[in-house]
Amino acid sequence: MPQPLVECVPNFSEGRDKSVIDRISASIEAVPGVTLLDVDMGSDFNRTVVTMVGHPDDVIKAAIDCTSVASELIDMRGHSGEHARMGAVDVVPFIPIRDVSMEECVRLSEIYAEMVSHKLDLPVYLYAEAARSEQRVRLPDIRRGEYEGLQDKIQSEEWAPDYGPREFNPKLGATATGARQILIAYNVNLDSDDKAKANSVASMIRTSGYLVKDENGQKIIGDDGKPLRKPGKFEALQAAGWMYDESTAQVSMNLLDHRVTGLHHVTEAIREEARKIGLNAVAGELVGLVPLEAMISAGRHYHKEPGSALESSLVDAAINGLMLDILGEFDPKSSIIEWAISEALG
């Protein structure tokens, strides 16, 4: 009988020193029952996303072990990078894959938070399905102010950590953990070196949209005392403008529910919005793994004869339509979560 499987995707604030990531990865691989599926290092973001899968009991041990190793090797006092971050081990989500409930994953995140906060004197926030208040559901809300603003933020009543000391840890910062459905981290590069233009495109498509301003460029305040926002095109989508490298701006996204907003939806919307300002979408990039269903859905959009196409042909159409093979070789066997698990577990 197949065993229960949970996925864990820790994000580490180190993407340049491979020796550090190798030691973190080794601590995961040393845990029996856990399979390391993917290690995605990003130099400009100075961030690495690691994907592991296994029995819940084994995965929680691996998550705690790799956090301990990272806490020894990563020092936030010298960290810089494009991606928003607040800690050395920035976020550790638990995701149900097979015969595991969301409630069980919430409990895993609570166990993890209790263990690492006690062991490392680490402030930990619960988010997503594990959040204990509405303001902590969204990770960007918890991260707001990032590492640099954490010392003041953590001392306020509103942002006291759920676990760990209510004190700033200058070496480690703070960590967020929680339970969520599979999230797709997907980016689209533009033929521009202007991050502001990428952020302008992002503001048109993300759920939160953009601030409404008057003819003088001032924010318009609503009756509730908060700035008015114009919602973006899509639900369940976070997006912002970042730099892929020194000469390439990027629309960086988290697709929170690919069944609501799919890869092809955001790709085509970015193409449309980029054209309005004289730009082109030139490459796509997945960070970590992607569900097969999301690729099949995109493949049906891009394939000329989707009704009669084989699964593999639909995946190929998705790779081409999403421009996933522009920046380098895209291996679907290691990048699609179901196929990667099948390969790893036989």
CATH of the domain at 279: 3.30.70.670
CA distances from 96 to 7, 183, 227, 237 (A): 6, 12, 37, 20
pLDDT of residue 326: 97
Task: Please indicate, yes or no, whether residues 168 and 236 belong to a single structural domain of this protein.
Answer: no
Each residue of 310-325: pLDDT tens digit? 999 999 999 999 999 9
Supply 71's token pair: 């806490």
Mean pLDDT of 2-31: 96
Q: What is the mean pLDDT of the chain?
A: 95
Q: Are residues 225 and 290 in the same domain?
A: yes
Is the C-alpha dihedral spanning 237, 79, 142, 221 positive or negative? negative
Give every CB contact of residue 170 below 8 A, 6+ residues apart in sequence.
76, 77, 151
11 and 125 inside one domain: yes
26/137 same-domain check: yes
Q: Are residues 236 and 279 in the same domain?
A: yes
Domains of the chain: total: 2
The answer for residues whose C-beta is within 8 angstroms of residue 128's C-beta and 6 or more apart is 93, 137, 139, 178, 179, 180
Considering the domain architecture, whether residues 157 and 223 belong to the same structural domain is answered as no
State which of 153, 179, 205 marks the end of a domain. 179
SS3 80: coil
β-pairing, 34-42 vs 184-190, is unpaired
Which of 55, 79, 83, 303 does the annotation list as catalytic?
A: 83
In 3D space, the residue among 19, 119, 84 whose CA is nearest the CA of residue 242 turns out to be 84
Cα 276 from Cα 236, distance rounded (Å): 24
Residue 24 and residue 166 in one domain: yes
Last residue of a domain, one of 179, 212, 230: 179
Residue with tokens 């912002």: 240
What domain range includes position 149?
5-179
What is the CATH classification number for the domain harbouring 81? 3.30.990.10
Same domain, yes or no: 69 and 203: no
**Residues 190, 122 share a domain:** no
Closest to 171 in 3D by CA, of 71, 66, 46:
71
Does 302 have pLDDT greater than 80? yes
Question: Binning pLDDT at 50, 70 and 90, where does residue 267 land?
Answer: very high
Is the pLDDT at 225 greater than 80? The verdict is no
Q: Final residue of a domain: which of 151, 179, 207?
A: 179
Question: Does residue 83 carry a catalytic annotation?
Answer: yes
